[in-house]
């Protein structure tokens, strides 16, 4: 494979050499958790506008008897369309998993597309779990290699590359085909960070899904024998040079040594419906409240101390201080802290229009100051800290620092308990409790079941 550049070659060789037997049991368990989490957050997204628009657009479009299923329906269509809609549903609430390094990532964004490819291919169910582990491994290593956002590029470029690796594994491509799929995906399909700058729109829900759709398209072309551009990553006009990023090659070169796919164990699920950098802020507020929400007239001043990445992503833009839609509000640290202080919890209803227009929340945000704390900044990204200090009018000072949000490695929480609580809370509006139990059972024993059994349980 010497005619390929080293990134292309390393990823292609790794993606096509890993099998079920190579995946540690802990990583398989984590892949099942992420599949379950993806299904739950996808179901909960059904009332939200981006999902309603896409389902209206694609349900009924190009019906195929042997196609792939749009989740929660019996409708089957082209795999690219089904995967696009499914992955958009997973992302729409910004409630799926996260990885933080030089670049952040939401690796479960690719699961809806992988599931659509599983159905199209007829591969064994265990192959989906293997592919998830491979996709995560490649995705998180890319995040360890370079930052895209500092140059204005979106992290979904890395999601797309991870998805190509996962699809190449799932569809049993040759090394050469996988290398061509990477080239076909990367060169024509570079995404801009503008998706997440300023006023955030519904496209944020679909940015990663669209990147993964490109990954699927590229993989199918390569499987048919189509060639991609030469040297897509390291060429004169390739990914690294044109994006202007500093790229540490070591995490990708290590793939040549065929390490166990354990990258998924370094990622973490969300247990509050907020951007990941705000998770510990919610935990800090809940801790300092002690179960009693505050009234706006009680509050004299709110101080939040955070890290630079958090400030850059969910604080600094003016829109984050006056969010007008859900997509901006769940990426607004001031809104998230103010809402949680006044309600003692934050859930999906926090982003309704009446809440976004709440004068009480605006009053608290007006009393808030958010600063980067150099001491906390040194902890990132090993930890994701936020410190919240609330000064009350009666002189009381409430203060809490949380460096590892619930579910984060070392946080001391039982992830299965947290996930079960989250799944039930998200699915109760759609299913009776016995069906939710069955969804959990089938997903957490996925390799022993037929995917169609799960799809039938999910029909709403």
The CATH number given to whatever domain includes residue 131 is 1.10.4100.10
C-alpha pair distances (Å), 182 with each of 14, 165, 243, 330: 13, 8, 17, 33
Among residues 240, 266, 292, the one where a domain terminates is 266
Average pLDDT of the segment spanning 237-256: 97
Strands 368-372 and 299-306: parallel
C-alpha pair distances (Å), 395 with each of 166, 231, 298, 299, 365: 56, 64, 10, 10, 19
Give yes or no for residue 346 having a pLDDT over 60: yes
- The CATH number that applies at residue 392 is 3.30.1330.120
Residue 450 lies in a domain: no
Are 134 and 31 within one domain?
yes
Q: Determine the pLDDT at residue 2.
A: 66
Residue 247 lies in a domain: yes
Which residue bears the tokens 């808030």? 368
How many angstroms separate the CA atoms of 130 and 449, rounded?
A: 15
**H/E element holding 89?**
helix 79-92
Among residues 402, 427, 448, the one where a domain terminates is 402
Are 192 and 249 within one domain?
yes
Residue 451 lies in a domain: no
**Phi and psi of 369, rounded to 5°?**
-130, 130
Are 56 and 167 within one domain?
yes
Are 241 and 215 within one domain?
yes
Number of domains in the chain: 2
Among residues 383, 402, 421, the one where a domain terminates is 402
Torsion angle defined by CA atoms of residues 271, 276, 277 and 278, in that order, rounded to the nearest 10 degrees: -40
Are 62 and 202 within one domain?
yes
pTM recorded for the entire structure: 0.94
Are 32 and 60 within one domain?
yes
Give yes or no for residue 400 having a pLDDT over 70: yes
Tens of pLDDT along 15-57? 999 999 999 999 999 999 999 999 999 999 999 999 999 999 9
Helix axes 25-44, 125-145, angle to 10 degrees: 90
Average pLDDT of the segment spanning 157-177: 98
In three-state secondary structure terms, 121 is: helix
Residue 443 lies in a domain: no
Are 250 and 329 within one domain?
no
Tens of pLDDT along 183-230? 999 999 999 999 988 777 899 999 999 999 999 999 999 999 999 999
Strands 76-77 and 68-69: antiparallel
**Phi and psi of 136, rounded to 5°?**
-65, -45
Q: Determine the pLDDT at residue 1.
A: 53
Residue 392 lies in a domain: yes
Q: Determine the pLDDT at residue 412.
A: 80
Q: Nearest CA to 80 among 116, 127, 121?
A: 116
Give yes or no for residue 357 having a pLDDT over 90: yes
**Phi and psi of 306, rounded to 5°?**
-145, -165
Q: Determine the pLDDT at residue 59.
A: 94
Are 185 and 280 within one domain?
no
Are 210 and 238 within one domain?
yes
% of the chain at pLDDT higher than 90: 94
Q: Which domain holds residue 134?
A: 6-266
Are 208 and 314 within one domain?
no
């Amino acid at each position: 494979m010497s005619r390929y550049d080293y990134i292309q070659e390393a990823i292609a060789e790794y993606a096509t050499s890993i099998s079920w037997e190579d995946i540690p049991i802990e990583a398989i368990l984590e892949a099942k958790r992420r599949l379950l989490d993806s299904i739950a957050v996808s179901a909960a997204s059904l009332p939200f506008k981006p999902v309603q628009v896409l389902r209206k657009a694609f349900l009924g479009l190009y019906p195929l008897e042997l196609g792939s299923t749009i989740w929660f329906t019996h409708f089957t269509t082209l795999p690219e369309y089904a995967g696009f809609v499914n992955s958009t549903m997973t992302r729409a609430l910004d409630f799926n998993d996260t990885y933080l390094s030089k670049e952040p990532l939401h690796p479960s964004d690719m699961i809806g597309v992988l599931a659509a490819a599983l159905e199209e291919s007829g591969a064994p169910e265990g192959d989906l779990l293997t592919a998830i582990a491979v996709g995560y491994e490649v995705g998180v290593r890319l995040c360890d290699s370079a930052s895209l956002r500092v140059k204005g590029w979106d992290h979904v470029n890395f999601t797309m590359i991870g998805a190509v690796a996962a699809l190449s594994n799932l569809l049993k491509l040759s090394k050469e085909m996988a290398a061509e799929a990477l080239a076909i995906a990367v060169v024509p399909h570079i995404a801009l960070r503008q998706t997440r700058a300023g006023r955030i729109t519904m496209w944020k829900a679909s940015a990663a899904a669209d990147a993964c759709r490109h990954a699927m398209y590229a993989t199918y072309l390569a499987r048919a024998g189509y060639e991609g551009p030469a040297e897509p990553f390291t060429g004169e006009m390739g990914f690294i040079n044109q994006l202007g990023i500093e790229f540490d090659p070591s995490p990708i070169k290590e793939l040549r040594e065929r390490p166990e796919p354990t990258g998924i164990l370094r990622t973490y699920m969300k247990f509050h419906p907020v951007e990941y950098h705000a998770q510990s802020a919610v935990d800090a507020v809940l801790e300092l409240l002690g179960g009693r929400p505050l009234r706006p007239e009680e509050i004299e001043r709110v101080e939040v101390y955070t890290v630079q990445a958090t400030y850059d992503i969910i604080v600094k833009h003016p829109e984050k201080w006056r969010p007008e839609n859900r997509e901006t509000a769940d990426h607004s640290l001031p809104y998230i802290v103010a809402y949680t202080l006044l309600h003692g919890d934050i859930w999906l209803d926090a982003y309704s229009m009446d809440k976004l227009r709440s004068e009480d929340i605006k009053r608290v945000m007006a009393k808030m100051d958010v600063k980067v704390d150099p001491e906390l900044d040194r902890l990132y990204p090993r930890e994701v800290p936020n410190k919240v200090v609330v000064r009350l009018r009666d002189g009381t000072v409430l203060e809490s620092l949380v460096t590892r949000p619930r579910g984060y490695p070392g946080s001391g929480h039982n992830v299965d308990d947290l996930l079960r609580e989250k799944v039930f809370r998200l699915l109760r509006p759609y299913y009776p409790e016995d069906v939710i139990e069955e969804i959990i059972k089938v997903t957490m024993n996925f390799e022993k079941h037929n995917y169609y059994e799960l799809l039938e349980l999910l029909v709403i």
